[in-house]
Structures are given as structure tokens and as C-alpha cells.
Amino acid sequence: EVQLVESGGGLVQAGGSLRLSCAASGFPFDDYAIGWFRQAPGKEREGVSCISNSDGSTYYADSVKGRFTISSDNAKNTVYLQMNSLKPEDTAVYYCAADSSAKRWLIATMTKDYLELWGQGTLVTVSS
């Protein structure tokens, strides 16, 4: 079955850390760009971070640079997002998304285009 399954969301105080996981199955993991979007209530979708499993290149939104780190474990077909120094404005539903084109993934951060695969989302709540 082709799917992305997120885990690791929860409630954390400002300044704390969480690690999100995205377990992938049913498609050639090594050939895909996989990463995270988030959407807070009343706000537009934001592309947070992405990693290209084909060449290891990464993308981070300016809002999370220096605080979030994305990594990929090809043996486990899992992508991780380590989130440190969390802020209340990081509160959102985080969605794992994958596409066979890293370029298309990056374009989707600027448009409302949808990518090939999406997870069900995991809620991250940061209290002040």
C-alpha cells in the first residue's frame, strides 16, 4: 500500500523540542523528495522543510531555519523532522508530503499545488 504515516506530534511548551516521523511505504523511497508542510487555523499552508533522497539536498523555510533539522533513514524508509526551540507560532497540523520531483515539491511551497502523496497530518501545539 502506498502511504505516508506521520507520528510524533503533541503538546510542548515554548522552547521545547519534538521530533516528527514520516514512515513511507509502497513507492521507491530513494527516488523521492519528502518533507513537511504545515497549516495553522485560519492560515495558508506553509512548506516547512524537504529532503531529496536522491541527492540529499534540503530545503528549509526561513521561519524554521536554525531550529528545525530534516533527516532521512533510507534503511527504515522514514523521514524525520527534529524541531527545537519551538515557538507558539509553530502550532499547526504538520503534513508529510512526497513527490518524485524535488522541483515540484519546492514549487508547491509557493503555490497551492498538491504533491503526489500526503499523510494524514499530526498536530503540534506549542504553549506559551
Using one digit for the tens of pLDDT, what is the confidence trace for 83-107?
Answer: 999 999 999 999 999 999 999 999 9
Q: What is the pLDDT of residue 112?
A: 78
Stretch 115-122: mean pLDDT, rounded? 96
The three-class DSSP label of residue 108 is helix
Q: How far is it, in rounded angstroms, from Cα 30 to Cα 103? A: 16
C-alpha cell at 92: 499547526
The three-class DSSP label of residue 109 is coil
pLDDT tens, position by position, 50-80: 999 999 999 999 999 999 999 999 999 999 9
Contact between 79 and 72 under an 8 Å Cβ cutoff? The reply is yes
